[in-house]
Amino acid sequence: MSMVSYPKIVVSPPGPKARELLKKDETYISPSYVRFYPLAIESGKGCIVKDVDGNEYIDLNSGLVCLNVGHCHPKVVDAIKKQSEKFLHYSNTDFYYWPVVNLAEKLCEVTPGKFEKKVYFGNSGAEAVEAAVKLAKWHTRKQRFIAFISAFHGRTLGAVSFTASKPVQRRHFFPMVPGVTHVPYPNCYRCPFKLSYPDCDYWCVDFIDEMVLQKYVPPEEVAGILIEPIQGEGGYVAPPPEYFKRLKRITDKYGLLLIDDEIQSGMGRTGHWFAIEHWKVEPDVVCIAKSIASGLPLGAIVSRTRLMDWEGGSHASTFGGNPLSCVAALASIDAIKEENLLENATKQGNYIMKRLQNLKDECGILGDVRGKGLMIGAEIVEDKDTKKPAKEKALKIMLKSWKRGIAVITCGISTIRIAPPIIITRELVDAAMDIVEDVIKEVDKEK
Ligand SMILES: Cc1ncc(COP(=O)(O)O)c(C=O)c1O
């Protein structure tokens, strides 16, 4: 039994005030957005989010993985308030101010690798990916890239050329930026080559060399490999232990840049500052966004200094590195350090994994449990032998959990995505997981 008073459902959601908002939204807001369920936000504090009808949910979404230090962390709010009384904007692209330089220095400290680095700031994840791709092109004077099937890197035209997670993201938007070759991502639960780990001996890596670079994509024309260390939207898929070391051998062999998209997995989510640290590999460029500024818009790339040699005017964005976002990011980094949140992400993550592993043994529809730290996926299948993805069942679990006060969503085809703020306590974990597990069991029993 949980010892906390959350969640609190006072009216079955969506309540009357949420329904009113939904009606206006339908009139005025672009239909291109995907809404998982009608959760209409009034306020948030820590791991709790309150809807406009007064229901309080435990947030396992972290506002789509943008709130690693929780909703309205007092340090972050205080930093924003103080900065808002000094100045709100003065294009870092054309002038100078301290918050942007201070943040760049901190990001260079926390990203993998002790070498010299420089930082470029944009406003979002897609902008970080755009910047990384443009920098790689500029520096290498090469035009081709390797990316991965099921990847998600954003939706601007450049970024979406690398995204390959769902047809809807690309339909009617062709032609894409040319030169991107997608290869299978290592997914040991659903090996794209139908092999088994470890007998496969990492064919998914050798395939890139032997079947792609040696057959039809001239390696001397490839600028780099863009990869998520753990696929996010693709289903919270984590590669096997030696994957990145072996991939690095390919990038070293041909002199390709390793571009690490940490937009979802970074800023402490997995128990390290950046997820690729689990594989002990140092990338050339790291893309950061989402949780970097605890909910304010900010994107960044951190690159080896010797690579960031593009000329003045080659790339910039008016609001990139705006002072409010930068102070929010500085305060977020301080909070992660001072509150030992990397340790907490590991501790709570291991605990959730253990709970779900136990549940897997007794639940026919829980096919796979995976992840690192607090980036955890629980894949729902029709049955464990065929592993057929059970999309409707996963959506049912998501909706039933929400109705009972747990804000949780899916990723991939049928994976429940568990990504609470990394400040979450054991008590709140228990309160949330009691409900989620109960709902999984309930759906498991349905025919
Ligand atoms: C790994 C990854 N890269 C890039 C993006 C795009 O970020 P944004 O939506 O801020 O453009 C996302 C967003 O979900 C992401 O998960």
State in Å: Cα 263 to ligand 1 middle.
Answer: 6
Q: What residue's CA is closest to ligand 1, atom 3?
A: 153
38 secondary structure, DSSP code: -
Distances in whole angstroms, Cα of residue 142 to Cα of each of 133, 221, 304, 311, 400? 10, 5, 18, 17, 49
Q: Beta strand pairing status for 56-59 and 48-51?
A: antiparallel
Distances in whole angstroms, Cα of residue 106 to Cα of each of 65, 84, 132, 256, 303? 21, 21, 19, 27, 13
Which pLDDT band, with edges at 50, 70 and 90, does 1 fall under? low
Helix/strand/coil for 432 = helix
Q: What residue's CA is closest to ligand 1, atom 7?
A: 125
If you average pLDDT over every residue of the chain, what do you get? 97
177-200 pLDDT, tens digit per residue, is 999 999 999 999 999 999 999 999
The pLDDT of residue 5 is: 92
User: Residue 64 CA: which ligand 1 atom is closest?
Assistant: 14
User: Residue 265 CA: which ligand 1 atom is closest?
Assistant: 1
CB 86 within 8 A of CB 313: no
State in Å: Cα 221 to ligand 1 middle.
Answer: 27
Mean pLDDT of 114-141: 98
CB 440 within 8 A of CB 397: yes
State in Å: Cα 164 to ligand 1 middle.
Answer: 13
413-422 pLDDT, tens digit per residue, is 999 999 999 9
| CA pair distance 82, 439, nearest whole angstrom | 44
| 63 in contact with ligand 1, CB cutoff 6 A | no
| CA pair distance 349, 345, nearest whole angstrom | 6
User: Residue 287 CA: which ligand 1 atom is closest?
Assistant: 3
Report phi then psi at 290, rounded to 5: 40, -100
**342-127-109-115 Cα dihedral, nearest 10 degrees:** 130
Which pLDDT band, with edges at 50, 70 and 90, does 31 fall under? very high
CB 49 within 8 A of CB 407: yes
246-290 pLDDT, tens digit per residue, is 999 999 999 999 999 999 999 999 999 999 999 999 999 999 999
Q: What residue's CA is closest to ligand 1, atom 8?
A: 125
Which pLDDT band, with edges at 50, 70 and 90, does 2 fall under? low
Which pLDDT band, with edges at 50, 70 and 90, does 4 fall under? confident
Helix/strand/coil for 121 = strand
| CA pair distance 364, 382, nearest whole angstrom | 8
| 261 in contact with ligand 1, CB cutoff 6 A | yes
Q: Beta strand pairing status for 117-122 and 299-304?
A: antiparallel
87-116 pLDDT, tens digit per residue, is 999 999 999 999 999 999 999 999 999 999
| 123 in contact with ligand 1, CB cutoff 6 A | no
372-403 pLDDT, tens digit per residue, is 999 999 999 999 999 999 999 999 999 999 99
Report phi then psi at 401, rounded to 5: -65, -45
State in Å: Cα 128 to ligand 1 middle.
Answer: 9
| 125 in contact with ligand 1, CB cutoff 6 A | yes
| 228 in contact with ligand 1, CB cutoff 6 A | yes
- Ligand 1 probe mutation, 153, 161, 166, 319, most atoms within 8 A of CB: 153
DSSP string, 8-27: B-SSPSS-HHHHHHHHHHHH
Distances in whole angstroms, Cα of residue 167 to Cα of each of 150, 161, 170, 205, 267? 10, 12, 5, 25, 29
Give 238-306 as a 3 state SS string.
Answer: CCCCCHHHHHHHHHHHHCCEEEEECCCCCCCCCCCCCHHHHHCCCCCEEEECHHHHCCCCCEEEEEECC
| CA pair distance 353, 334, nearest whole angstrom | 27
